[in-house]
Amino acid sequence: MNYRFCGNSGLQLPLISLGLWHNFGDVDDFSLATEMILHAFEQGITHFDLANNYGPPPGSAETNFGKIFQTNLKNHRDEMIISSKAGHLMWDGPYGDGSSRKYLMASIDQSLKRTGLEYFDIFYSHRYNAQTPLEETVQALIDMVKQGKALYIGLSKYPADKARQAYEMMQEQHVRCLIYQNKYNLLHRNPEAELMPLNVSWGKGFIVFSPLAQGVLTNRYLNGIPENSRAAKSHGFLKKEDITQDVIGKVLKLNELAEKRGQTLAEMSLAWLLNKKEVTSVIVGASSVKQLQDNIGSIQSIDFTAEELTQIEICCGNFR
């Protein structure tokens, strides 16, 4: 594994981080989850990304990670970066969602209890919430650091203007935001316009989630929608209607280019992200050790020729 400094900080993150959004809840195979986490750490993945609502049910990914950590990895705590988040619906009632100080402080305490940790390396505000004054949210994050519950602050999915305001508030109190997390992949380029330049100018790390567009940027959908795929399920974020002919056409062209490079489409998609100096790390999900290892393999070839980069833009319909 290779590592990159996270923005203008002394903290390094692995190029590949393991996300526990799917496949680590109570509905999943605990022995497989254990195997994947241990394999990840053995391969140099030191960063594990959680959130209070990951499961299902919500909270169970943190609980299961905590069991695996306490049994197998407790002696390696100082070699690990463990992050969590709060900002989405977690429990019923007026205090179980949003970005209020009440919710955030309760959330980090609950997350620490579920995982059995004394602190998180990074704790994120999971999303911007317009119903809560930004000053209230930012102060709660700052106080988490001052209380020793988190070493660093992160923001996720914030609009660029709100992220900038938050950075300014934190800087005034000498508790810098370390990192920004957002969706970014070959088919979703929105961060390129404002967010990535903003984070570079402020010296923040930038970590990517959904780098494979929930499986669209793999070989799963080259011939339509498989019965057991995410898009075929009635629940979840990826819908059948998202897999349009236009998307399939782009994916087929990208797959041809990946084959010419001697990579799978997934490997090339991850390598393309890691080729960008603005990207600190890429969060991958995994449903098997083999899939995880295949994703790790993407770091072996992250260099692209100018012609290849141009061809990728043509495939994606972004060439100007």
Preceding peptide of 133 cis, ω within 30°: no
Instruction: Please give the pLDDT value at position 222.
Output: 74
Q: Is the pLDDT of residue 235 over 50?
A: no
Give the 3-state secondary structure of residue 274: helix
Mean pLDDT of 218-247: 63
| pLDDT value for 2 | 97
In this prediction, residue 176 carries a pLDDT of 94
Residue 135 has pLDDT above 60, yes or no: yes
* pLDDT for 246: 84
Q: Which helix (H) or strand (E) holds 181?
A: strand 177-183
Q: What is the pLDDT of residues 46-94, one digit of tens each?
A: 999 999 999 999 999 999 999 999 999 999 999 999 999 999 999 999 9
Identify the weakest region by mean pLDDT among 171-180, 233-242, 305-314: 233-242
**Residue pLDDT, tens place only, 243-301:** 678 888 899 999 999 999 999 999 999 999 999 999 999 999 999 999 999 999 999 99
What would the CATH number be for the domain defined by 3-215+273-287?
3.20.20.100
pLDDT, mean of residues 86-111: 97
pLDDT at 237 over 70: no
Tell me the mean pLDDT in the region 218-232.
Answer: 64
Give the pLDDT confidence score for residue 224 in this predicted structure: 63
What pLDDT does 211 receive? 97
pLDDT in the model for residue 232: 47
Q: Is the pTM of this model over 0.85?
A: yes
Measure the CA dihedral 55/124/302/226, to 10°. 30
Residue 151 φ/ψ region, left for φ over 0, alpha for ψ in the -120 to 50 degree band, beta for the rest: alpha
Average pLDDT over residues 107-128: 98
Domain boundaries, the chain: 3-215+273-287
Q: Show Cβ contacts of residue 171 under 8 Å, excluding neighbours closer than 6 positions.
A: none
Tell me how far apart the alpha carbons of residues 298 and 76 are, in angstroms, rounded to a whole number.
Answer: 26
Question: What's residue 64's pLDDT?
Answer: 98
Q: Cα–Cα distance between 73 and 66 in angstroms, integer? A: 10
Closest CA to 209 of 6, 21, 14: 21
Residue count of the chain: 320
Query: Pick from 41, 45, 106, 92: which is nearest to 69 by CA?
Result: 41
Which tokens is 273 given? Answer: 């992200």
Average of per-residue pLDDT values in the chain: 93
Per DSSP bridges, beta strands 281-284 and 47-49 are: unpaired
Which DSSP state fits 227?
T
Please compute the mean of the pLDDT values over residues 109-121 and round it to a whole number.
Answer: 98
- Summarize the confidence of residues 223-246 as an average pLDDT: 59
Tell me what pLDDT residue 289 has. Answer: 97
Q: What is the pLDDT of residue 320?
A: 38
CA neighbor of 269 nearest in space, from 248, 244, 295, 243 = 295
Q: Contact at 8 Å (CB) between 23 and 34?
A: no
Give the chain's largest Cα–Cα span. 54
Closest Cα to residue 160, out of 185, 191, 184?
A: 191
Q: Is the pLDDT of residue 236 over 60?
A: no
The Cα-based distances of 236 to 167, 240, 289 in angstroms read 32, 11, 23
Vertex 217: Cα angle to 249 and 197 (nearest 5): 105
Provide the terminal-to-terminal Cα distance of the chain, rounded to the nearest Å.
35
